[in-house]
Amino acid sequence: MLKDFKHIQTAHCENGITTSLLRYHGLDYMNEPLAFGIGSGLFYIQIPFMKINNGPAISFRTMPGAIFKRTCKSLGVDVKRKKFKDHKAARDFLDLKISEGIPVACQVGVFHLTYFPVKYRFHFNAHNLIVYGKNHNHYLISDPIMEDVTTLSVKELEKARFTQGAFAPKGHIYYPENVSEPDIELLKKGIVRGIKRNVRDMLHIPGHVAGVKGIKHTSKQIRKWREKLGPKKAGLYLGQIVRMQEEIGTGGGGFRFIYAAFLEQAANNLKEDKLTAISDDFTKAGDLWRSSAVQMAGIYKGRLSEQKDFDETADILLEIYETEKLAFKKLSKLKLSK
């Protein structure tokens, strides 16, 4: 076991990896909202022409890997990453890092994660965990979404590192390097940069399926689903949105609250009160996402089935679109300086 490795539970796996590994290397100010905000994690996209588990492909956060990469880069930390074709090479490299006393992150597929409840084990390949040691034939695992640490056998971890399908991990392993002393000026810079980049991603991304416009796009689609797919399939599609929104520990609602918590911290760090008010806007967006989930549940449980129920769901999404658009516009108008 590595000295002093401390397991930290977070709402989302990649935030957790970033927080735990940077703290391990001495950045003791790091926490989940900061990692998420500096990495410009908040996003929305309904990926066109793609289906996940036979339903719409929607994501409430930026692409896998981006939060870790951006946050490290902003704080002057190098990122090392490696992918493998050969299983043995992947295992040897992991063992080498462990023997050097370096905790590392691995991308894994949930389908083969034996410690997950069976009900959650779909083919989802963008989960991340930390390996912080090895004990005979078992790796010591810190999975950020869990309250406690766990273990996986050598064979089990290998299977999870080489799952197939969309975002196949290919043994992907990554970790920070050259982490310097905590520097508050650098942190402030990182916060400002994170906010500006998130404004860009949510307001100015081209096309109509991503950013705040993407929420409007999904809203429009929901109005048509009942007619187009029939109430049963439309219900399954809505259920999929809720599951994407609220997977274990993460979620559309969840991410909005994390972002609100980030802006609260940013207000303190940058001594900018206006950020506190905007933080409240994101709390409101999070609450609205949760209301939309309750409404969608009414449909997939069969309690609601009329077109007006679909329209009401779509209306909530439209309200979310307006709320998030306004909040990001306010952010874009702030003159933030570190």
Partner 1 sequence: MKKENIPQDKSALENFTRELYYVKNNNGKYKTGLSIGWDIKKDALDNAWGEVNRRIEEARNAVKEGRKSPIYFFIELNLMNISILSGYTGFWKLSVKRHLKPGVFNKLSDKKLDIYARAFDISIDELKNFKG
Residue ranges that bind partner 1, judged by CB under 8 A: 9-11, 33, 53-54, 111, 115-117, 119-120, 122-123, 145-148, 164-166, 168, 235-236, 239-240, 242-243, 246, 248-249, 253-254, 257-258, 260-261, 264, 283, 286-287, 290, 293-294, 296-297, 300-301
Query: 41 is written with which tokens?
Result: 């994690």
Task: Closer to partner 1 by CB, 21 or 145: give it.
Answer: 145
Q: How far apart are CA 157 and CA 106, in angstroms?
A: 9
Nearest distance in Å: CB 117, partner 1: 5
Task: Closer to partner 1 by CB, 86 or 100: give it.
Answer: 86
DSSP state of 178: -
Task: Closer to partner 1 by CB, 113 or 331: give it.
Answer: 113
Task: Closer to partner 1 by CB, 95 or 246: give it.
Answer: 246
Task: Closer to partner 1 by CB, 134 or 256: give it.
Answer: 256
Nearest distance in Å: CB 206, partner 1: 28
Is the separation of the CB atoms in 252 and 246 below 8 Å? yes
Nearest distance in Å: CB 301, partner 1: 6
Query: 173 is written with which tokens?
Result: 């392993």
Residue 164, classified by CB atoms within 10 Å of its CB into exposed (0-12), middle (13-18) or buried (19+), is exposed
Nearest distance in Å: CB 185, partner 1: 24
Nearest distance in Å: CB 119, partner 1: 4
Task: Closer to partner 1 by CB, 13 or 187: give it.
Answer: 13
Q: How far apart are CA 185 and CA 65, in angstroms?
A: 25
Nearest distance in Å: CB 260, partner 1: 7
Nearest distance in Å: CB 280, partner 1: 9
Kind plus residue range of the DSSP H or E element containing 335: none
Task: Closer to partner 1 by CB, 123 or 200: give it.
Answer: 123
Nearest distance in Å: CB 106, partner 1: 18
β-strand partners of 142? 130
Q: How far apart are CA 188 and CA 162, in angstroms?
A: 38
Q: How far apart are CA 223 and CA 239, in angstroms?
A: 15
β-strand partners of 131? 104, 141
Residue 154, classified by CB atoms within 10 Å of its CB into exposed (0-12), middle (13-18) or buried (19+), is middle
Identify which of 130, 181, 178 has the alpha carbon closest to the alpha carbon of residue 157: 130
DSSP 9-74: --SSHHHHHHHHHHHHTT-TT--HHHHHHHTT-EEEEEEEEEEETTEEEEEEEPPTTHHHHHHHHH
Task: Closer to partner 1 by CB, 97 or 123: give it.
Answer: 123
β-strand partners of 47? 57
The CB-side HSE value for 35 (13 A sphere, CA atoms) comes to 27
Nearest distance in Å: CB 208, partner 1: 26
Task: Closer to partner 1 by CB, 7 or 217: give it.
Answer: 7
